[in-house]
């Protein structure tokens, strides 16, 4: 069970969960179209950061995502 201070994602996703998330994200990006995909991703990131509730951890996630692009 999660609490307000413990996000559900703290345990991480297994491979099947990551594949599901990837498919959902790809479908949503296709649905909004190329002209709105950047805005969609920023909005999604801000919603995720708000749900995460930890600005420092979100900064770590940004740094991790920037590596090896």
pTM: predicted TM-score of the whole model, two decimal places: 0.78
Look at the chain and report how many structural domains it folds into.
1
Residue 46 placed within a domain: yes
Residue 20 placed within a domain: no
DSSP three-state, residue 26: helix
Q: What is the pLDDT of residue 68?
A: 92
Q: What is the pLDDT of residue 2?
A: 43
Residue 47 placed within a domain: yes
Residue 18 placed within a domain: no
Residue 4 placed within a domain: no
Q: What is the pLDDT of residue 10?
A: 60
Q: What is the pLDDT of residue 11?
A: 76
d(CA 9, CA 66): 20
Full residue range of the structural domain in which residue 43 is found: 36-69
Flag residues of the chain having pLDDT under 50.
1-4, 6, 8-9
């Amino acid at each position: 069970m999660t609490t307000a201070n413990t996000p559900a994602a703290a345990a991480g996703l297994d491979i099947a969960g990551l594949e599901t998330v990837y498919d959902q994200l790809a479908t949503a990006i296709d649905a909004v179209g190329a002209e709105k995909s950047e805005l969609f991703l920023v909005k999604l990131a801000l919603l995720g950061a708000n749900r995460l509730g930890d600005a420092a951890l979100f900064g770590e996630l940004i740094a991790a995502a920037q590596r090896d692009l």
